[in-house]
Structure 1
Amino acid sequence: MRLVLGLVILGGALALLLLSGDDRPVLGMDPDQFAQLAMATGFLTVIVAGFWHQFRDRMGANLTALMAWGALGAALVAGYAYRDEARRIGDRMLGAVRPGSAVVASDGTVTITRRADGDFHVRAEVNGQAQGFQFDTGASSVVLTAESAASLGIRPSASEFSVRVSTANGVTVAAPAFLDTLRVGDIVERRVPALVSRPGALRENLLGMSFLDRLASFEVRGDRLILRGR
């Protein structure tokens, strides 16, 4: 049936061309344009009719599939349109499930959720590498454990351990260093002064005042640590 319909269209177009002569317009088009349009329409009719025949034979299943694809397309469009809101919601969920993860708000503030042990563990990046820090306003500087510093390629010589620092294990000495970048969420500080502790002196890196003093502000509000960059 679909082949017959296509042939009827092509036959009708041929008849019009024959009746109009060689140079007379056909339906406002020159003969060549009309012939091309007629052929394209005939072929398209055959293809669409064949598709409809297949679609009609399994109407229920095909409608279900069509609705599913339509819903998927609408979800993709909505996801793209509201991608920023979706990202913020995802960040909040991650911060609640994984304390220490930086949650970036629309105003640029970064929020850290307190751990179950009562401390703020901050997941950061130092020179592009992931590092964990304990938030510590009592530390005058960012302090890296010897192991963390070594993983970053910072290995002070014995003679460089000349700065006296107080830790939970008592007074020890540390070596001065500079961090090319220190990132927490969207807050990035460059050339941050830091100290490298002796092996075994610290169990965790400390996020101290050499980084915190560079911020516009920071505050603890309940179980949240809120950082604001400049």
Structure 2
Amino acid sequence: MFYVILGIMATAVAVLMFNHEAGEVFGYPIEIVASIALSSSLLLYLIGGNLGRSSLLQSLKQAATWLLIGFALVLGYSFKDDAKLLVSRVTGELLPGAAVVSQSGEVTFRRSDNGHFMVRAQINGETVPMLVDSGASSIVLSYSDATKTGLDLGALSFSAPVSTANGRALAAQVWLQQISVGGIEAQSVPAMVAQKGALRESLLGMSFLDRLEGWSVSGDRLTMIP
């Protein structure tokens, strides 16, 4: 019975969290579904015969325990957005390159120990660590990162000189159908692929930064405004 009740409550919480944006589940207000899940769990506990098999005091203690568990789950669900923000901030402090997304949608990155800002971009479903470089006119992918993202490099002509913070290199022009940084997505973005061995790390240049509403650096924080 314990696992049945726990399963019902866990399933209810998962369904509520998945549908919280819609405000309803199966056509019913989400608050009603939450109270039905909690009430049915307590009712199952009582029907299980625990009141008859144990002392009244012990049964009341067990019932109170279930109520506290239910209250904790409901409380956790109520503050889920704050919890996500807290986890995001802690992750951003511990892992440079991890995005910290504010409730207003701004995305912040902490400066790495090497003095640069690193981000984790999503390109064609692949995670690509990139150095933010406002001195680069375009996104520049290293040859290995471009290969990882599935770009067809066979027909490219590496003849275009590019100037970056790492120096000059030869590159070929490509178009990225989609790139996402910290949840900020841009489509049909011009980019360059550096010649093999010419670039150690990919660069997030102005062809992405210009798509933003704004971006700024304050101390050891880089903030992007979508």
Q: TM-score range by the shorter chain?
A: 0.7 to 0.9
Shift of 1:127: 1.9
Classify 1:220/1:49 alpha carbon distance in 2 versus 1 (closer, same or farther; 3 Å): closer
Query: 2: distance between equivalents of 1:49 and 1:172?
Result: 73
Deviations 1:175-202 (A, max 9, x none): 1011111111221000111000011111
Residue of structure 2 equivalent to 1:197: 194
Q: Taking structure 1 as the reference length, what is the TM-score of the superposition? A: 0.72
Classify 1:80/1:96 alpha carbon distance in 2 versus 1 (closer, same or farther; 3 Å): same
Classify 1:65/1:48 alpha carbon distance in 2 versus 1 (closer, same or farther; 3 Å): closer
Query: 1: distance between equivalents of 2:197 and 2:175?
Result: 21
Please say if 1:182 is aligned against 2:179.
yes
Please say if 1:104 is aligned against 2:101.
yes
Classify 1:99/1:68 alpha carbon distance in 2 versus 1 (closer, same or farther; 3 Å): farther
Deviations 1:122-177 (A, max 9, x none): 01211221111101000110000000000111132365112111346643210101
Asked which structure has the greater CA Rg, the reply is: 1
Aligned positions, number: 181
The answer to whether the 8 Å contact 1:169/1:201 transfers is no
The one-letter amino acid of 1:222's match is G
Please say if 1:218 is aligned against 2:215.
yes
What SS class does the counterpart of residue 160 from structure 1 fall into? coil
Q: CA RMSD in A?
A: 2.2
Unpaired runs of 5+ residues, structure 2, are 1-45
The one-letter amino acid of 2:183's match is D
In the TM superposition, structure 1's runs of 4+ consecutive aligned residues that sit over 6 Å from their partners are none
Unpaired runs of 5+ residues, structure 1, are 1-46
Selected match of 2:89 from 77, 92, 106: 92
Shift of 1:64: 4.5
User: Which deviates more from structure 2 when the two are superposed, residues 116-125 or residues 157-166?
Assistant: 157-166
